[in-house]
Structure 1
Amino acid sequence: MDFHGRVDALARTWQAWAELGEGLTEEQWGLPSRCPGWDVAALYAHHSAMPRDLHAAGPPAGEPEGAVLTAAAALRRFNSEGGLAATAGPEVADEAVADAAATSGRALVERFTVLGPSVLDRLRSAGPELRAVWQPGVVLPLSEAVRIVLLEATVHLLDVRRALGQAPDAPADALTETAALLAEMAPPVELIEAATGRSAVSPLPVLH
């Protein structure tokens, strides 16, 4: 999938978040999810921080410094032993819970419906080759950064639907691109042999 296809898939996935959130009852916002410590509202707070923060971010100031990585390489680093998934994970979890407690469901949804479209327009205008800092010392071309945002949007949308007792679903192109990125993260030989029944040793999970 090319850059514009990824942005279009992200637009459809954020629309799915918005449409789902607009119909939630107060009870449903408080349902627990399979993400420890997070209810549905915390899931919304966590992922809606993406359009909120991207909307607030200014243009990059000059050429960013750091290793230029693919989405798969950045996520492997993020999930490595001692990586940010481990060191920053508790803080991220606490921020989502606090944000959910301080923000109404309507305001969480409006991050997708009000802020989201302008973010998507800015992404399309910027183009795939623009480089931005993803984490300290890690630089991603915008096309690769959008892959990570789309993966987050898709995985957590499935988390929400599971918490609500709904069939897991997301836009088809978002599911395809997310599955492709997760497969890219896995060691190829181990993934091929496990997927074809030639090995009982699974390389999964590749992302936490």
Structure 2
Amino acid sequence: MHEIYRTRLDALGESWRAWGELGESLTDAQWSTPTRCTGWDVAAVYAHHSVFPLVMSEPPPLVDAAAAGQPLTAAEILRRFNSPGGVAHSMAETVAEVAITDVGRHTRRELVERFAQAGPPVIHRLRAAQPRLVLPWPASGGVTTLVEALRIVLMEATVHLLDIQRALHYPPAVPDLALADTARLLAEVASAVEFIEAATGRSTDSPLPVLR
């Protein structure tokens, strides 16, 4: 468990560093480039994901682990979110509005500095945390563990970094550890039988996509 946790922290630190370095190089035109996230330009994607280093800078809310029930895995949370009527659908417009509004309130420099300034202290602090620490996950209706929450944040960092690189016609450049962990997580979200049979060419009924 501790090795998996450390690996995910390493991957997240590398990913946030890539976000920061890419942001430093963007022109005004590139910041305004539309992405495949409908209605979001590059700046909006930066605003959306850069909230994570800020939120994670604060200590997590205290949870009575004994009363909270069985912690959800990252895959279980994502299945709930992306089920018909789940928050990935019901809150999509709200999430988009928050990101777009955030762009208007901050300079491009401030968005980039969230990764460069807030990111490293977050990674450093989490290295001393307990992977099995129980904490609430917003809108999930339950709790999860820190090691599983970290997995969702890493997936978000990976997918949205690819969104930006594709929008700018850059070759994919995401840390290998982040790609590997994200690929495993998305495979776990899918129906196992349907995924195996589609991946091995035994069925044309693909369970993908698993995320909105």
TM-score normalised to the size of structure 1?
Answer: 0.96
Equivalent residue number for residue 112 of structure 2? 109
Deviation at residue 67 of structure 1 after TM alignment = 4.5
Equivalent residue number for residue 160 of structure 1? 164
Equivalent residue runs for 1:1-208 within 5 Å = 2-55=4-57, 57-63=58-64, 65-136=68-139, 137-208=141-212
Provide the C-alpha distance between the structure 1 equivalents of 2:59 and 2:195, rounded to a whole number of angstroms.
Answer: 40
**Structure 2 residue runs without a partner (length 5+):** none
Misfit runs of 4+, over 6 Å: none
Deviates more, 1:119-128 or 1:178-187: 119-128
Provide the C-alpha distance between the structure 2 equivalents of 1:193 and 1:59, rounded to a whole number of angstroms.
Answer: 40
TM-score normalised to the size of structure 2?
Answer: 0.94
**Structure 1 residue runs without a partner (length 5+):** none
The code of the aligned residue for 1:49 comes to V
Deviation at residue 59 of structure 1 after TM alignment = 3.8
Q: CA RMSD in A?
A: 1.2
Provide the C-alpha distance between the structure 1 equivalents of 2:200 and 2:60, rounded to a whole number of angstroms.
Answer: 45
Provide the C-alpha distance between the structure 2 equivalents of 1:15 and 1:58, rounded to a whole number of angstroms.
Answer: 22
Q: Deviations over 1:52-86 (max 9, x none)?
A: 1111x334324253541100001101111111111
Deviation at residue 15 of structure 1 after TM alignment = 0.4
Query: How many residues get paired?
Result: 207
Answer yes or no: is the 8 Å Cα contact 2:18–2:174 preserved in 1.
yes
Q: Secondary structure at the match of 2:128?
A: helix
Deviation at residue 166 of structure 1 after TM alignment = 0.6
Provide the C-alpha distance between the structure 1 equivalents of 2:127 and 2:190, rounded to a whole number of angstroms.
Answer: 29
Identical amino acids, percent of aligned pairs: 55
